[in-house]
């Protein structure tokens, strides 16, 4: 009976994995099919003949490389900035005693309850007053601060034994050395998890980049893809759209594959009860 449950469990996981991976596989596969044959071969698993015409056409019709680099720059800097700021703030809330510490942390938690759409108009007016519209600063600055990241890092730092820091203090380490040499390396699973979440949300962000960018040279991939889709008149170029979608998805998959080891370790550690 135990073996049967194990077999059924693996079978269920395989079915779920196939159901989730098949749309991704179909998107990649159909992106190499000519527009005139996409719907006639949509029910096939493998298609022929395959062509890279859709990818060539996309790069010729729109400045896709510019959109890609803009998204990569914004997502990378935002991810790095939010991880550093959240880690330092989380460590401060977990280890330092200062006035109104708990009140400030409560305010940060409350900000997590505010829908992001509510902040769009005030942020836009702020960026306009600072003359940052249509710049990288406008795309990056609002994403550097997040209540979720501070919360995640604080909760993890609270689980670290204080004996490690006391030993380091006896050896002559100051506060910054204890943070960068002891606390932060031990927090790599949470750092990787936060980095993945931040990169994916920033990479897929559409509304904010659409509002604060005016020129074609500052558009990110989601905005460029939406404008490219809206530029069709009579015939929708599904092949080019699928090619764009593949290009948009690959960096996200790559980031997850790089950080999956730490991401999975964080999930496993969160499920262990001592």
pLDDT digits (tens, 9 = 90+) for 39-60: 766 566 666 677 788 888 888 8
User: Higher confidence at residue 263 or residue 68?
Assistant: 68
Can you give the length of the chain in residues?
274
Question: Binning pLDDT at 50, 70 and 90, where does residue 224 land?
Answer: confident
pLDDT, average across residues 226-250: 76
Phi, psi torsion values for 204, nearest 5 degrees: -90, 0
What pTM does this model have?
0.83
Buried b (16+ CB within 10 A) or exposed e, 215-251: eeebbbbbbbbeebeeeeeeeebbbbbbbbbbbbeeb
Q: What is the pLDDT of residue 208?
A: 92
Both tokens of 146, joined, read 């997040």
Q: Measured between alpha carbons, how far is residue 61 from residues 38, 117, 224, 225 in Å? A: 20, 32, 11, 12
- What is the helix (H) or strand (E) element at residue 35, kind and residue range? none
Q: What is the pLDDT of residue 273?
A: 41
* CATH 1.10.3720.10 matches 65-236+249-270: yes
Q: Of the given ranges (16-25, 62-71, 192-201), which has the lowest mean pLDDT?
A: 16-25
For residue 48, what is the DSSP state? Answer: S
Give the separation between CA 216 and CA 199, rounded to whole angstroms: 22
Domain boundary assignment for the chain: 65-236+249-270
Q: What is the pLDDT of residue 274?
A: 42
Question: Binning pLDDT at 50, 70 and 90, where does residue 71 land?
Answer: very high
């Amino acid at each position: 009976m135990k073996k049967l449950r194990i077999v059924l469990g693996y079978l269920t996981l395989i079915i779920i994995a196939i159901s989730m991976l098949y749309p991704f596989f179909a998107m990649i596969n159909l992106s190499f099919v000519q527009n005139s044959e996409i719907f006639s071969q949509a029910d096939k698993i493998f298609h022929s003949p395959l062509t890279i015409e859709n990818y060539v056409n996309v790069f010729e019709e729109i400045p896709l490389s510019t959109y890609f680099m803009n998204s990569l720059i914004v997502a990378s800097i935002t991810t790095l900035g939010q991880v550093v700021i959240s880690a330092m703030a989380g460590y401060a809330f977990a280890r330092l005693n200062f006035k109104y510490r708990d009140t400030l942390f409560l305010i940060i938690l409350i900000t997590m309850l505010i829908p992001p759409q509510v902040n769009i108009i005030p942020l836009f007016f702020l960026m306009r007053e600072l003359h940052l519209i249509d710049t990288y600063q406008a795309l990056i600055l609002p994403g550097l601060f997040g209540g979720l990241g501070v919360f995640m890092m604080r909760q993890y730092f609270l689980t670290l034994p204080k004996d490690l820091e006391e030993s380091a203090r006896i050896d002559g380490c100051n506060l910054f050395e204890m943070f960068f040499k002891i606390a932060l390396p031990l927090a790599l699973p949470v750092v990787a998890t936060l980095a993945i979440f931040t990169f994916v949300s920033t990479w897929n962000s559409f509304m904010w980049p659409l509002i604060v960018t005016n020129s074609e040279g500052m558009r990110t991939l989601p905005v460029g893809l939406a404008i490219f889709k809206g530029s069709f008149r009579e015939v929708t170029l599904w092949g080019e759209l699928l090619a764009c979608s593949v290009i948009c998805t690959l960096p996200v998959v790559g980031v997850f594959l790089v950080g999956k080891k730490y991401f999975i370790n964080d999930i496993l550690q969160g499920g262990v009860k001592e």
